[in-house]
């Protein structure tokens, strides 16, 4: 049982919003999964490429999304949420290519604006992005990829000034399959003359969703979801487009973990099981019974979760780093010991000490944590 209320933050001498959770209740029921935040954010940025109107269905209404919309409005765009949850965007009046510094510093995904601004205006000015503190998340791959397209980049007064008035297609090999860099290069390359090939591209399903949206705009992008993406640049964007945001595999995985931990039973709708292979495999290791259909997943949790020996976070199709904390929590009440190796970010075990306050038992060295399950 969960309620939203207020709690006193003693160190800061103020009241703060808080979730108050009463344990001991298995999760049961049916839930439709929302659109994916990690797909929506780059697609909102890509809407800048459109000179007219865009309709997005199933766009999650979250703080990061609202911050991205605030940036778009500062750039001259207009938007409104319709009663059915559809997001309507009017990009016709967009004329600015300098992103607002205050909002941009609050959200990591503001960096996604670089590629679309270059595609539409040939110029972009931004600040270094903010976001959650889960380790070093440099934007070097974004900038080096854009530079390979012919974008001139310089720093002045804490701002990144980009001139892409003469972008040319190129063959770009990423040193690491960064999702953000892959998507930024895809969006900029639609305006580059000639063809661009992105090698060692990120394979996450969200890149496929971005490809679908770009193609709905009239762009020519193929290969997303593989390690090699081709963008044929120089196409003229359509004046209108619409797109349905893909389901959120991280939200789905989190709900499944909740049911597994509590020994419950949940049925999820609007999901794509084919995008969740690594998560479902680990849940089956714990003894969960899982039935997958085309767009639905039914999970029944066991009385006591069995041991998961090893979880290693990796780029897709490996185990997602965004599910590491949820499986860490699961391992605290499972049988045996579980080793979790965090290969993506170097500072992503901050939940460990908080779980220890609740009775969790674990040890950590660098990027590896070993969790020993206790009776729930």
Return the closest-CA partner of residue 162 out of 214, 196, 195, 120: 120
User: And the tokens for 241?
Assistant: 């487009």
Place of tokens 């016709």: 92
- Which helix (H) or strand (E) segment is 186 a member of? helix 179-189
> 322 near 37, Cβ under 8 Å?
no
Return the closest-CA partner of residue 208 out of 239, 249, 260: 249
Q: Where are the beta strands (DSSP E) in 115-200?
A: 123-127, 152-156, 159-163, 171-173, 195-199
| 263 Cβ contact list (under 8 Å, min separation 6) | 26, 301, 302, 303
Say how many C-beta atoms besides its own lie within 10 A of residue 10's C-beta: 7
User: And the tokens for 33?
Assistant: 């999964």
Residue 132 annotated among the catalytic residues of the structure: yes
Say how many C-beta atoms besides its own lie within 10 A of residue 50's C-beta: 25
Place of tokens 């911050």: 67
DSSP string, 285-349: HTT-EEEE-SSEEEEE--SSPPP--EEEB-STTSB-GGGHHHHHHHHTTSSSEEEEE--S-SS--
> 338 near 370, Cβ under 8 Å?
yes
- Alpha-carbon torsion (86, 205, 208, 67), positive or negative: positive
> 17 near 32, Cβ under 8 Å?
no
Q: Which of 59, 126, 132, 338 is catalytic?
A: 132
Say how many C-beta atoms besides its own lie within 10 A of residue 282's C-beta: 22
Helices (H), 248-299: 249-262, 277-285
Catalytic residue set: 132
């Amino acid at each position: 049982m969960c309620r939203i209320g207020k709690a006193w933050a003693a160190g800061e001498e103020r009241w703060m919003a808080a979730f108050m959770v009463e344990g001991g209740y298995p999760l049961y029921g049916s839930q439709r999964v929302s659109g994916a935040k990690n797909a929506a954010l780059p697609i909102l940025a890509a809407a800048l490429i459109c000179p007219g109107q865009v309709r997005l269905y199933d766009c999650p209404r979250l703080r990061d999304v609202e911050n991205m919309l605030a940036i778009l409005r500062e750039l001259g765009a207009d938007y409104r949420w319709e009663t059915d949850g559809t997001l309507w965007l009017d990009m016709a009046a967009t004329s600015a290519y300098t992103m607002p510094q205050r909002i941009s510093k609050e959200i990591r995904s503001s960096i996604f604006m670089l590629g679309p601004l270059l595609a539409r205006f040939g110029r972009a000015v931004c600040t270094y992005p903010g976001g959650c503190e889960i380790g070093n998340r440099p934007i070097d791959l974004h900038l080096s990829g854009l530079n390979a397209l012919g974008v001139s980049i310089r720093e002045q007064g804490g701002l990144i000034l980009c001139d892409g008035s003469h972008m040319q297609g190129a063959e770009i090999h990423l040193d690491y399959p960064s999702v953000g860099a892959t998507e930024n290069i895809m969006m900029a390359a639609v305006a580059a003359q000639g063809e661009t090939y992105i090698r060692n591209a990120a394979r996450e399903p969200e890149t496929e969703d971005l490809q679908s949206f770009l193609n709905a705009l009239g762009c020519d992008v193929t290969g997303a979801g593989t390690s090699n993406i081709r963008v044929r640049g120089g196409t003229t964007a359509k004046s209108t487009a619409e797109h349905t945001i893909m389901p959120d595999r991280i939200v789905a995985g989190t709900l499944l973990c909740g049911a597994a931990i509590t020994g419950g039973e949940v049925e999820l709708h609007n999901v794509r099981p084919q995008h969740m292979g690594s998560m479902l495999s680990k849940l089956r290791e714990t003894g969960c019974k899982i039935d997958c259909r085309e767009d639905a997943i039914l999970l029944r949790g066991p009385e006591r979760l069995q041991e998961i020996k090893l979880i290693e976070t990796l780029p897709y199709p490996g185990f997602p780093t965004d599910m590491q904390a949820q499986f860490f929590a699961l391992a605290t009440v499972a049988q045996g010991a579980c080793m979790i190796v965090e290969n993506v970010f170097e500072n992503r075990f901050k939940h460990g000490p908080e779980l220890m306050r609740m009775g969790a038992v674990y040890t950590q060295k660098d990027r590896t944590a070993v969790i020993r399950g206790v009776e729930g």
